[in-house]
Amino acid sequence: MYVGADYYPEHWPRERWSVYAKWMKKAGFNAVRMAEFAWVFMEPEEGRFDFSWLDEALATLRKRGISAVLGTPTAVMPAWVAEKYPETLAMEAGGRRAVWGVRKNNCFSSGAYRLLSERITRAMALHFRSVPNVIGWQTDNEFGAPPCFCPTCRADFQDWLRRRYGGLDELNRAWGAHFWGHRVRAWSEIRIPPDQSTFNPGQCLDFQRFFTFQNVRFQRDQVRILREVCPKHFVTHNFMGFVPDLNYFDLAEDLDFVSWDNYPIHGEPGMLYDAAGAGDLMRGLKRRNYWVMEMSAGPAGWGAFGRNPRPGEMRLVALQQVAHGADGLIWFRWRTCTAGREQYWHGLLGHDGRPLRRYREAARTARDFKKLEKLLAGTTVKADVAILYDYDSLWATRIQPSFQGNDYQAGLRRYQQALMRAGVNVDLVSTAAGLGGYRLVIAPQLYVLPDAIALKLDAYVRTGGVLLADLRTGVKDESGLCHERTLPGLLSKCLGIEIREYEAIPESTPIAGWLPAAGRALHAIQYADWVIPKTAEKLAGYSGWHLAPYAAVTRNAHGRGVGYYVGTVARESQFYDELIANVIKTARVRPALKPPPGVEVSVRSGRGRKLLFLMNESEQAKTLPVPAGKLEVLSGRKTLAKLTLPRFGVAVIQIR
């Protein structure tokens, strides 16, 4: 396992470098990430390279046994790039070029920028390929800048469409350009949609795909060079969890493994649900373990920072990621920068540069990692449940949410969080993933549903799988046109229902006939399909005269499996707890342990070992029953039948 910090030697006087390396070593660190914003220090003027400072920094670290991941530095262009090649600056929808002076502001279609990127990448690769403590590369930094609307991007978008569609007839058909008489007769007539709320939804969806293509191509240019020059190094990229602007599955394809930047300490409730879910998605991108390349190490924010990690909290959120499949963990950042826009993105050391509490907690966590390292080798999370995560549906829902308040990820979280509360591990995978190994597949709002996927899901159920689908499933085809089938289209048989009408519901409506949840009523909000069960059983319905004839939740035996459908949004999370309890029972999914509220459970297994992570994410001590007589790895003690976790406490029990 790798553990360490994001480190910017160029921010500090050279006399500190050896001190910092010593302190890192003392903390048990073995890795840093460096250089991803240091282009101007490596290429101070065009074509003149200077790596001497970084050589020295690397050498200082090497003496302490610390390895380095280097970032290609293309997320911040030097001033001379902007001055010499103004066309490399991205253009806003309104026509203004970005003003140089921030970061992530380049045009990804600019030939000049792509060439400059290749040159600095090649120069770095050639220089560092044989530096012994360089172990790998991070491409750029947090891909996903705002898109560029310049003429070059427009021409590039037109080219991409030409390659995608072949002919204009195909494009006009795919975009449904008969609507509003928007047929185009030349590729040059096509525009980048300046907003996603008034332009053609198919055009908007394709632009989102093109935007991914631009980023993937830009990364691939770099990866190709890194593979060629540094075949022994790994290549990764720091993703941003649930940030939705790029198709991360595509971006992950060219990498050895995925990394991500995790900032779960901001004072908002529910962030650890998201950190867990994002970890599951990161693991799902390549279906293998991942790194955390940036990790909360203090109050964070550009103008206003949030709360400080409380005693014990840094360790908790770090071990949570290990529990979800992290094999590397890098805190952001070593020392809080005293300059620039991230002065308040606090690191392990403060502005004063002293190794205080946060440093000590990181060191304690690194010691825990050391204890876990051998047991974790070869293990990962093996889930019985998959949630399908689909960027096309996400984007199309953003373009047309269907009803006020709808959000693809919020829809997904309802199930993901209920599963977490139930103690069940989950994989977040793409619709292209094989489903054979899963007992239960949850497919929230598969709004864009190509026929092939629908048929695959039907087959999955027929052959014994349990599927949970919900509202807005199957509305659109891959090009963003609405299917001409009565909903849920090709899933009608599998789900055993027909939906002839549907509507947004401005007020809440009590849910009727099921889920007699101890006294308090559950409520449908936002949306209701007018679901008519055909072969399905109605599990819940509605009060209120006009929705009374319809089902809110259905269950349908189909072949050897079962298809569930949820046609509304419930206000109360308890609805989803009851639903998940019902569904996992049907699917014969059993949690390793049903945790009390505030405690998270996750299991890593492999090579015959099974490690149960128990994480108290609350600020009160929690006592829970656990398998007795097993090794609790962090304390080195044997378990009794009950275990008490202090606030933010973590236990890792080797149950096999």
Distance of closest approach, residue 82 Cβ to a second copy, in angstroms: 7
Distance of closest approach, residue 555 Cβ to a second copy, in angstroms: 24
The answer for residues whose C-beta is within 8 angstroms of residue 262's C-beta and 6 or more apart is 241, 275, 278, 279, 292, 294, 295, 296, 317, 321
Distance of closest approach, residue 516 Cβ to a second copy, in angstroms: 27
17 three-class SS: helix
* 73 touches a second copy (CB under 8 A): yes
Considering CB under 8 A, how many residues would be counted as binding a second copy?
108
Distance of closest approach, residue 405 Cβ to a second copy, in angstroms: 8
Site residues for a second copy, 548-607, by CB under 8 A, read none
* 201 touches a second copy (CB under 8 A): yes
| Catalytic member of 43, 253, 268, 294 | 294
Rg of the chain's alpha carbons, rounded to an integer? 26
Q: Which stretch binds a second copy (CB under 8 A): 307-315, 461-469, 532-540, 623-631?
A: 307-315
- Paired with 136 in beta bridges are 69, 234
* 302 touches a second copy (CB under 8 A): yes
Q: Which stretch binds a second copy (CB under 8 A): 130-138, 234-242, 503-511, 533-541?
A: 503-511
Distance of closest approach, residue 72 Cβ to a second copy, in angstroms: 13
What tokens were used for 191? Answer: 């525009």
15 in active site: no
Site residues for a second copy, 335-364, by CB under 8 A, read 336-344, 350-354, 356-358
Which has the closest alpha carbon to 432: 389, 382, 479? 389
What tokens were used for 585? Answer: 């029972």
The answer for residues whose C-beta is within 8 angstroms of residue 258's C-beta and 6 or more apart is 236, 237, 239, 248, 252, 282, 283, 285, 286, 290, 291
Distance of closest approach, residue 124 Cβ to a second copy, in angstroms: 14
Binding mask 279-298 for a second copy (x = CB under 8 A): -------------------x
228 in active site: no
* 200 touches a second copy (CB under 8 A): yes
Binding mask 161-180 for a second copy (x = CB under 8 A): --------------xxxxxx
* 100 touches a second copy (CB under 8 A): yes
The residue (of 136 and 489) whose beta carbon lies closer to a second copy is 489
Site residues for a second copy, 455-484, by CB under 8 A, read 475, 481-484
The sign of the CA dihedral 268, 261, 396, 98 is positive
The answer for residues whose C-beta is within 8 angstroms of residue 122's C-beta and 6 or more apart is 225, 229
The residue (of 100 and 273) whose beta carbon lies closer to a second copy is 100
Q: Which stretch binds a second copy (CB under 8 A): 38-46, 108-116, 382-390, 425-433?
A: 38-46
Site residues for a second copy, 384-423, by CB under 8 A, read 399-404, 406
* Stretch (H or E) spanning 542: strand 537-542
274 three-class SS: helix
Q: 346-364 b/e with 16+ CB inside 10 Å = b? A: bbbbbeebebeebbebbbe
Q: How far out from the chain centre does Cα 576 lie?
A: 22
Is residue 249 within 8 Å of 227, Cβ to Cβ? no
Phi, psi of 613 (to 5 degrees): -95, 130
| Catalytic member of 36, 142, 578, 632 | 142
Active site residues: 142, 294
